[in-house]
């Protein structure tokens, strides 16, 4: 397993009423799509000992980050498969699988004293999650995942109205149970007749904002597949190559990266075993085929 990231939680046991053994649980993750749990025991006289404990599964792509909660009862992980998984560290069962991100999840962390979770992604968003006794709720998203607009709840629509300076309409939209799907289907007639918005200027503003949403939905529906985008430039690759870390990059961008950043991987920050770049002809053909199909539409 190639180690990408790790998290740790500490424990102290008592022997005969005195502090005797301190041990830590270490979580490591990597290219094998798994999370390994290790026990580090520390005894003042004898030194320390590292033992393998167990393996957590659930991701289908390399795991880029993992972290324990402040009380050590949960472990969170983020992956190239765009998902976030929250585990119960006692049972090692999966508590939640979060799929709101649309690109690689590169980082995740719990707040130090309360049950808040932050996840960051290459989709340029940070999602903040809050816990209650039974469920995990998304407390705040810095930017709505626009391709899921039709799946927005009524609360999501309310948040969007506030963000667009239309907070005066929140009560009207809630009263009429407007969710994401209904929002995209609103017309000037329904705004006037069904929602009873009398101001022509306000109706026009709402329609403009809705049209912007529709445009973004159409754009994102034909969005470039994630595997076609260079992790360095965040643009469609024209000449993809495979580096020794197993990831594909735009050739020129990776060559510049190696010359300026020494021999480190842009994805893992680990030292590359080789600076040889191999043309990814299969990916190149897939990109060319996708471009051809896109232009024909």
Which of the listed CATH numbers 3.70.10.10, 2.120.10.10, 2.60.40.10, 2.130.10.10 matches domain 3-143? 2.130.10.10
Question: 51 vs 39, 70, 296, CA distance in Å?
Answer: 5, 23, 57
Domain with CATH 1.10.150.50 in the chain: 147-221
What per-residue confidence (pLDDT) applies to 177? 92
**Residue pointed to by tokens 């209904």:** 182
Distance between CA atoms of residues 180 and 148, nearest Å: 8
Domain with CATH 2.130.10.10 in the chain: 3-143
Class of domain 147-221: mainly alpha
C-alpha angle with apex 269: 263 to 273, nearest 5 degrees?
A: 40
- Which pTM value belongs to this model? 0.50
What per-residue confidence (pLDDT) applies to 271? 87
What per-residue confidence (pLDDT) applies to 138? 52
Q: What is the CATH number of domain 226-296?
A: 3.30.40.10
Domain with CATH 3.30.40.10 in the chain: 226-296
In order along the chain (297 residues), what is the average pLDDT of each group of 10 residues? Answer: 48 41 80 88 71 90 88 89 90 88 89 85 84 54 46 82 87 91 90 91 91 72 75 86 92 90 81 91 87 64
What per-residue confidence (pLDDT) applies to 175? 92
Q: Are 191 and 203 in contact (CB under 8 A)?
A: yes
Distance between CA atoms of residues 140 and 241, nearest Å: 37
């Amino acid at each position: 397993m190639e180690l990408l990231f790790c998290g740790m939680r500490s424990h102290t046991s008592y022997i005969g009423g005195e502090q005797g053994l301190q041990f830590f649980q270490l979580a490591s993750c990597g290219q094998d799509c798994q999370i390994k749990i290790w026990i580090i025991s520390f005894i003042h006289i004898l030194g320390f000992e590292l033992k393998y404990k167990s393996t957590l599964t659930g991701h289908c792509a390399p795991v880029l980050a993992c972290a324990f909660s402040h009380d050590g009862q949960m472990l969170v992980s983020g992956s190239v498969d765009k998902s976030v998984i929250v585990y119960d560290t006692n049972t090692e069962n999966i508590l939640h699988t979060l799929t709101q991100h649309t690109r690689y999840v590169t980082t995740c962390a719990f707040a130090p004293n309360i049950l808040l979770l932050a996840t960051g992604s290459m989709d340029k968003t940070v999602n903040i999650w809050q816990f209650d006794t039974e469920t995990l709720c998304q407390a705040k998203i810095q930017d709505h995942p626009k391709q899921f607009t039709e799946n927005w709840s009524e609360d999501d629509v309310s948040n969007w109205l506030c963000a667009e300076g239309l907070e005066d309409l929140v009560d009207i939209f809630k009263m009429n149970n407007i969710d994401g799907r209904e929002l995209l289907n609103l017309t000037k007639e329904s705004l006037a007749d069904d929602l009873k918005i009398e101001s022509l200027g306000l109706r026009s503003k709402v329609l403009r904002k809705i049209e912007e949403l529709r445009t973004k939905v159409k754009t994102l529906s034909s969005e470039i597949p994630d595997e076609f985008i260079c992790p360095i430039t965040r643009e469609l690759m024209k000449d993809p190559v495979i580096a020794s870390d197993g990831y594909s990059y735009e050739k020129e961008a990776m060559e510049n990266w190696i010359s300026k950043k020494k021999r480190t991987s842009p994805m893992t920050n680990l030292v590359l075993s080789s600076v040889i770049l191999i043309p990814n002809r299969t990916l190149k053909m897939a990109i060319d085929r996708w471009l051809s199909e896109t232009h024909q539409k």
